[in-house]
C-alpha cells in the first residue's frame, strides 16, 4: 500500500476522474490526462488541441473537446503551464505609494492605460504591487510569479526593488527613475521642460520664483527644502534643476503629495505673508498648481495679474475653469505604451532601449507679466 490515498498514482487519475464524475465533481479536478484518456488519445495530443500549436485532425479535436466538456475540464491549469513554459503572463507594476493613491494621480492613470494596451498583445496582465510592503506580507516583488516588472517613480526603494528583480532575473523597466545603465528607462526631459516654464516666466519680467515641489523623498512631510538638501526623487530633482538653470536661488517648498489639496495647503504657506509674496510659483504638477491657484483666490490675489502659476503634466484639471494652466504637457499614455513595448521586447529576447520623451510647453492663462512692486516689500531675492 502506497502512502497516498489511492492504490497507484497512474490509475489514481483515472479513478479520481471517474469518482469526480460519479460524485458530481466532488473530488479533484480533471486534468488534461483525464481528458486525453476519456477521448482515447494521448495527453500530448490533448494538450495540442488546447494550445493549437500543432495541427490536429478535426475529428480528434472534436473528441477531445467533447471529453473535456463531459469532464468539466476548463483548459490547462495556468499554474502548471506556467511552470512548464516559464511564463506566467503577468507583468508587475510597482508603485511607491498606496495603490489608491496611485490611481488618484491622473498621469499615472493614463500611463497605466497605455501600459495595459501595450502588454495586452503580449498576453499579459498587470499585477499591482507596492514596493514597500507595510505588513511584511502581501504579494510582492519577491514572491509574485512575474514575467517582468515595471517600476513607476519608485525613487525611494528603487535600488532595493531593483536588486530583487535582478537576482530573480526578471526583466525590468523603470519609468521616471534612474536604475543604472543596464535597465531601460522611460522618462521625460524634465529639466529642459521645466526650464522652458522658468524662462517663460523670466521673459515676462519675473526675476524670481518659488518652486512648489513634489515630495523630495519617501515619507516627506510638507515643508521648505533647505538649500543643499539631497533630493532623492529624480523627477523632483530634475525639474528643480530646470528652474535653477533660470532662477538659481529659487526657494523650494515640497508638498506632501501631488494633489490639489496638498497644493492648496502649500499655497497657503507660500502666500501667508503679504510682505513676502512671490510673483510666480512654479509647481511641479498640475494638481499642485491648481491648489496654488485656489490658495491665491483665497488670499485675494488675482491669477495671473498678481501671481503667475505654472504646472506640469498637461492633464485636464477638472473644475479649474476658467483657468487653464500654463504647463508642460507630457505624453503620459505614450510613456506607458513605451514601457509596455520595452517589456515586450525584453520578453522577446531583444534589447530594449531607454526612451526619453519630450514635453510640450503650453501657455495658458495663469501666467502674465510680473506685477510692478507696489508694496516695495520684496526686494530682489535672487536671480
Partner DNA sequence: TTGTACGCGTTATCAA
Partner DNA sequence: TTGATAACGCGTACAA
Task: Choose from a second copy, DNA, none: what does 223 bind? Cβ within 5-8 Å by kind.
Answer: none
Specify the residue, 87 or 132, whose C-beta has the smaller distance to DNA: 87
43 binds, among a second copy, DNA, none (CB under 5 to 8 A by kind): DNA
Give me the residue label for grid cell 545603465: 181
d(CA 211, CA 263): 12
Q: Nearer Cβ to DNA, position 81 or 104?
A: 81
Considering only residues 221 to 260 of the shown chain, the ones binding a second copy according to CB under 8 A are 260
Which one of residues 98, 249, 305, 356 is an interface residue with a second copy (CB under 8 A)? 98
Tell me the per-residue interface mask from 123 to 162 with DNA, x by CB under 7 A, - otherwise. ----------------------------------------
**For residue 15, what are the contacts with CB-CB under 8 A and spacing of at least 6?**
6, 7
Select the span of 32-40, 110-118, 233-241, 321-329 touching DNA (CB under 7 A). 32-40
Window 44-83: contact mask with DNA (x via CB under 7 A) = xx-xx-xx-xxxxx-xx--------------xxx-xxx-x
| CB-nearer residue toward DNA: 77 or 160 | 77
3-state secondary structure of 139: coil
Task: Give the number of other Cβ atoms within 10 Å of residue 75's Cβ.
Answer: 11
What are the backbone angles phi and psi of residue 73, rounded to the nearest 5°?
A: -85, 125
Cα separation, 228 vs 169, whole angstroms: 37
Which positions from 264 through 323 interact with a second copy, judged by CB under 8 A? 317-321
Q: What ranges in the chain are assigned the alpha helix state H? A: 9-22, 32-39, 43-51, 58-71, 78-85, 99-104, 106-119, 158-168, 190-203, 234-244, 260-270, 286-298, 332-347
Give yes or no for residue 33 binding a second copy (CB under 8 A): no
Residue with cell string 498576453: 123
C-alpha cell at 228: 543643499
Q: Which stretch binds a second copy (CB under 8 A): 223-231, 244-252, 347-355, 358-366?
A: 347-355
Pick what 50 binds: DNA, a second copy, none; C-beta below 5 to 8 Å, kind-dependent: DNA
Q: Which residues of 161-173 are buried (b: 16+ CB within 10 A; e: fewer)?
A: bbebbeeeebbbb
Which range in 38-46, 144-152, 190-198, 217-225 contacts a second copy by CB under 8 A? Answer: 144-152
Where do contacts with DNA occur on this chain (CB under 7 A)? Answer: 2-4, 9, 12-13, 28-29, 31-33, 40-45, 47-48, 50-51, 53-57, 59-60, 75-77, 79-81, 83-85
Amino acid at each position: 500500500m502506497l502512502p497516498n490515498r489511492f492504490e497507484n498514482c497512474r490509475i489514481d487519475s483515472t479513478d479520481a476522474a471517474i469518482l469526480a464524475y460519479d460524485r458530481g465533481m466532488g473530488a479533484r479536478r480533471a486534468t488534461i490526462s483525464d481528458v486525453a484518456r476519456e477521448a482515447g488519445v494521448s495527453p500530448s495530443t490533448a494538450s495540442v488541441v488546447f494550445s493549437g500549436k500543432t495541427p490536429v485532425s478535426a475529428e480528434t479535436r472534436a473528441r477531445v473537446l467533447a471529453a473535456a466538456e463531459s469532464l468539466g475540464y476548463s483548459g490547462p491549469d495556468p499554474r502548471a503551464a506556467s511552470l512548464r513554459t516559464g511564463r506566467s503572463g503577468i507583468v508587475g507594476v510597482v508603485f511607491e505609494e498606496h495603490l489608491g493613491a496611485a490611481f488618484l494621480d491622473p498621469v499615472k492613470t493614463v500611463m497605466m492605460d497605455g501600459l495595459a494596451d501595450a502588454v495586452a498583445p503580449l498576453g499579459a496582465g498587470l499585477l499591482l504591487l507596492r514596493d514597500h510592503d507595510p505588513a511584511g506580507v502581501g504579494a510582492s516583488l519577491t514572491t509574485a510569479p512575474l514575467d517582468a516588472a515595471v517600476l513607476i517613480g519608485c525613487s525611494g526603494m528603487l535600488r532595493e526593488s531593483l536588486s530583487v528583480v535582478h537576482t530573480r532575473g526578471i526583466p525590468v523597466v523603470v519609468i521616471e527613475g534612474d536604475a543604472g545603465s543596464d535597465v531601460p528607462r522611460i522618462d521625460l526631459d524634465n529639466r529642459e521642460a521645466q526650464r522652458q516654464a522658468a524662462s517663460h516666466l523670466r521673459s515676462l519680467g519675473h526675476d524670481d520664483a518659488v518652486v512648489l515641489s513634489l515630495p523630495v523623498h519617501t515619507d516627506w512631510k510638507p515643508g521648505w527644502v533647505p538649500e543643499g538638501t539631497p533630493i532623492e526623487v529624480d523627477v523632483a530633482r530634475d525639474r528643480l534643476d530646470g528652474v535653477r538653470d533660470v532662477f538659481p536661488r529659487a526657494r523650494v517648498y515640497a508638498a506632501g503629495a501631488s494633489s490639489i489639496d496638498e497644493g492648496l495647503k502649500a499655497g497657503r504657506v507660500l502666500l501667508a505673508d503679504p510682505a513676502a509674496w512671490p510673483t510666480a510659483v512654479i509647481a511641479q504638477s498640475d494638481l499642485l498648481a491648481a491648489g496654488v491657484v485656489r490658495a491665491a483666490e483665497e488670499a485675494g490675489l488675482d491669477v495671473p495679474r498678481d501671481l503667475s502659476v505654472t504646472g506640469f503634466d498637461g492633464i485636464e484639471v477638472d473644475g479649474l475653469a476658467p483657468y487653464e494652466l500654463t504647463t508642460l504637457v507630457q505624453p503620459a499614455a505614450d510613456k506607458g505604451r513605451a514601457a509596455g513595448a520595452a517589456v515586450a521586447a525584453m520578453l522577446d529576447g531583444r534589447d530594449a532601449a531607454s526612451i526619453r520623451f519630450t514635453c510640450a510647453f503650453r501657455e495658458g492663462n495663469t501666467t502674465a507679466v510680473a506685477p510692478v512692486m507696489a508694496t516695495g516689500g520684496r526686494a530682489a531675492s535672487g536671480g
